Amino acid sequence: MIRGLKFFSGLLLLAIIALFVKQNIPTFSTELPFYLDLHIREKLVWYYTIGGLVLTGFILGFLIGFFFGFKMYWRKRKEYNRLKQTAESALQQDKIIPEQSSEKSAPGGNARET
- Judge whether residue 107 has pLDDT over 70: no
- Among 61, 62, 37, 34, which Cα is nearest to 48's? 34
8 A C-beta contact, residue 34 and residue 48 = yes
pLDDT digits (tens, 9 = 90+) for 7-25: 999 999 999 999 998 999 9
Tally helices (H) and strands (E) across the chain.
Answer: 3, 2
- On average, the pLDDT of the chain sits at 85
Report residue 81's pLDDT band, with 50, 70 and 90 as the boundaries: very high
pLDDT in tens, 23-69: 999 998 999 998 888 888 888 888 999 989 999 999 999 999 999 99
Is residue 110 predicted with pLDDT exceeding 70?
A: no
Cβ atoms of 44 and 65 closer than 8 Å: no
**Overall pTM > 0.85:** no
When pLDDT is averaged across residues 77-103 and rounded to a whole number, the result is: 78
pLDDT at 6: 95
Q: Which string of b and e fits 3-26 if b means at least 16 CB within 10 Å?
A: eeeeeeeeeeeeeeeeeeeeeeee
Residues 38 and 44: their CA atoms lie apart, in Å, by 9
Angle ∠(47,63,78) on CA atoms, nearest 5: 160
d(CA 55, CA 85): 45
What is the pLDDT at residue 36?
A: 84
